[in-house]
Amino acid sequence: MSRLDPEKVGLFLRQQRDELTRIWRMARASARPEVFPGLIDGLVGEFLDRAGRLAGEGAAPEAVWSGLSGVLRWPGKGAPDELAREWALLLEVIVAACEAVNASPAASDWFVAALAACEAGTRAQGAGGPRPPGVLTLHFFSAPAPPSERTAEDESPS
């Protein structure tokens, strides 16, 4: 069986964008149920679409970040660790997809490099780094996970 080149793997990722995004969301929700939605939730589908298209055009993997669009949630506390966890889950989804379609090593490496460039780009947002014009960074001033549920005791009058 022949291995698929980046163009064909990119076409597969674009065609399966919604399903792969759903798989990522399920994995992320399972790993971090208290964080909803994910910090990169608004970027995942666009990443799959843009990476798939650019791989087929022979562009550099770093070009994915420069034209990415969507919403990045940036909390005041814990963002770099949370971002790393979310990108790691997307990496697992992409690697599994590449294995499922028998991607060539060059194709797999291209998508891994594109993901690494996007992760670095999102991490740089905490220091006011450059962002693509299509990425809206929402800064909020709490941890990614909401406070624990309030109990009836917490709500009773003193």
Tens of pLDDT along 25-56? Answer: 999 999 888 777 889 999 999 999 999 999 99
Sole residue written with tokens 């076409």 = 11
For 122-152, the pLDDT digits (tens) are 988 877 788 899 999 888 776 666 655 654 5
Q: How far apart are CA 84 and CA 119, in angstroms?
A: 7
Tell me if 76 sits within 8 A of 125, measured CB to CB. no
